[in-house]
Amino acid sequence: MKVKRAAGGKIAIDMTPMIDIVFQLLTFFVMTLQITTAEGDFNIKMPLAAPRAGVPDPNQLPPMKVRLTANSDGTLAGMSMNDRTFSGADRWRQLHNHIAGVVGDGSLAASAEVELDCDFNLRYSNVIEAITAVSGSVNPDGTIVKMVEKIKFSPPRPETGG
Amino acid sequence: MKVKAKPAEMVEIDMTPMIDMTFQLIAFFMILINFDAAEQDERIKLPGSALAKPHDGPLESPITLQVTRNGATLIGGTLYATPESLTPLLKSEKYVMESQGKSEKNATIIVRAHKDVKTGQVQKLIKVCQEVGFEKFTLRAKEEVGY
């Protein structure tokens, strides 16, 4: 580094190379900056269906089958679980409350499982809405109350069906 | 008239505030840099969910599959028209994992599907992965404010 000793004994450091590098770094970071939205995940464990060995666990709840039907344009036509149908603008809330009623105070949440049976041409955003409704809810303070964590899909329906 | 030339005077600018600001800007951009964004693709518009939260730690052996609106699958910039055409690639991934002493059962398939894609296309893709031996799947969604 070039060091100049001035007449008064003061050492003047040449700042030019450092400023060059700093500006290059700044340019790099500005140009590589990508403004993206935050993303999150829903976990699904789906081994290929195999015959289960041994005696079934008596504490294991049978999967709650949620049926989602689609219109020809892929929008959600109807939603049902067993004999109960959910409709209207707050259908996801209805589904959430119904599942919450089945699962109870949370003691059964660990073993509860939801199976999504969807029409082939149903828009995928509806599946995420359904998973959100059965997975839990967000409190006003931002904390997440988990409900069902085991989610799986039924075998895919044929494209012409439903 | 006789004009006396003044000796050249060197003006020194105080660079300290500028360097301070520049270092602060660099620190800001360094913190903001997001390497995960590299897997994002502008063709994929994710569905939103209030419950979708990032994982606490890194996923084990993640494989990201992106599904476009028309049902094609995108991996590392290559477009595969049908889920079935992915089988050779998934099998080679499986062999690589086995050669590293890992099991494909512990690998996580990250599905980044367009919000308007047909659900059946996503299910077919999952089925193809299952047939190769993958078991753990993660459906990726955009974080939204809760209801």
Tokens encoding B30: 């360094």
- How would residue A162 be classed by pLDDT, with cut points 50, 70 and 90? very low
Nearest CA in chain A to B39: A36
Among A residues 95-114, those touching chain B with beta carbons less than 8 Å apart: none
Looking at the domain assignment, is residue B115 inside a domain? yes
Q: Supply the pTM of this predicted model.
A: 0.76
Nearest CA in chain A to B116: A123
Q: Residue B24 pLDDT more than 90?
A: yes
Locate all alpha helices (DSSP H) within B10-102, ordered by sequence: 16-32, 87-99
Per-residue pLDDT tens digits for A101-125 = 887 766 666 678 888 999 999 999 9
The domain defined by A64-153 folds into Nucleotidyltransferase; domain 5 (3.30.420)
Question: What integer pLDDT is reported at residue A7 of this predicted model?
Answer: 57
Question: What integer pLDDT is reported at residue A8 of this predicted model?
Answer: 62
Spans of all domains in chain A: 3-32, 64-153
Per-residue pLDDT tens digits for A73-84 = 889 998 998 888
Per-residue pLDDT tens digits for B58-100 = 777 888 899 999 989 988 888 898 888 999 999 998 999 889 8
Nearest to B118 among A42, A46, A74 (CB): A74
The structural domain count of chain B equals 1
**Cα B92 to Cα B19: distance, rounded to the nearest angstrom:** 51
Looking at the domain assignment, is residue B36 inside a domain? no
- Which string of DSSP letters, residue by residue, matches A29-50? HHHH------EEEEEEE-PPP-
Looking at the domain assignment, is residue B59 inside a domain? yes
Question: What integer pLDDT is reported at residue A59 of this predicted model?
Answer: 63
Looking at the domain assignment, is residue B120 inside a domain? yes
Q: Residue B4 pLDDT more than 90?
A: no
Question: What integer pLDDT is reported at residue A55 of this predicted model?
Answer: 56
- Full residue range of the structural domain in which residue B108 is found: 41-143
Mean pLDDT across B131-147: 82
Percent of chain B with pLDDT over 90: 31
CATH of the domain at B72: 3.30.420.270
- How would residue B9 be classed by pLDDT, with cut points 50, 70 and 90? confident
**Cα B140 to Cα B64: distance, rounded to the nearest angstrom:** 10
Looking at the domain assignment, is residue B24 inside a domain? no
